[in-house]
Structure 1
Amino acid sequence: MADTNFTFRVDEDLKAEFTRAAKANDRPASILLRDFMRDYVNRNREALEYDAWVDAELEQRLREADDPATKWIPHEQVVAETRALIERIAAEKKRRAG
């Protein structure tokens, strides 16, 4: 891939501080800026990929919810079964602890 120039305006004080900080860390400012740009692009790509994944998962769940063959369990039943499971686990832990 060919290199190209990227020109932008920046506050003079910020440029001076950035250049000093880069030199203090033995890093050319141009390399740091490329690294920052690469990181930003990668974070943005990851965010877009995650958003696409979430959208696809949501669409799949909505299709499943709309499917007439989907078995629905009432909330109260789920809560009761979960409480019973927690109580069984707690009783078993208490029995083992003696």
Structure 2
Amino acid sequence: MNEATFTFRVDQQLKAEFASVAKTLDRTGAQLLRDFMRDLVSQQQQVAEHDRWFRHQVQKGLDSANAGRLVAASEVESHFAARREATKRALKASE
């Protein structure tokens, strides 16, 4: 692994408290910071991937609407009203 040194300033009290917590976890501060950095990078990659997926889904919807493939709001409401009623009946039956 190609390693680099990362240096930054931190309040002395925070550093001492962090070192104490690290010790109780049987880890070094450096290990915890590397874990945090990996987790943060991973989370941001997941956010970016979700954003790409979401934008793609929106574009598909826009393309579909622009092509005239639409469903009337009344049809959608009717469909989901029926689903809500079916769910209510199922819940009542399970009581």
- Normalising by structure 1, report the TM-score: 0.77
Structure 2: runs of 5 or more not aligned = none
Match of 1:45 in 2: 45
Match of 1:75 in 2: 73
Shift of 1:5: 0.1
Q: How does 1:3-82 map to 2 (within 5 A)?
A: 3-68=3-68, 70=69, 72-82=70-80
CA deviations over 1:45-81 (Å, ceiling 9, x no partner):
100110010001101110001003x2x3332243345
CA radius of gyration, larger in: 1
Which region of structure 1 is more displaced relative to structure 2, 74-83 or 17-26? 74-83
Amino acid at match of 2:74: E
Shift of 1:84: 5.1
Shift of 1:25: 1.6
Identity %: 37
Matched residue count? 91
Structure 1: runs of 5 or more not aligned = none
Q: Which runs of 4+ in 1 moved over 6 A?
A: none
CA RMSD of aligned residues (A): 2.4
Q: Distance in 2 between matches of 1:15 and 1:47?
A: 30
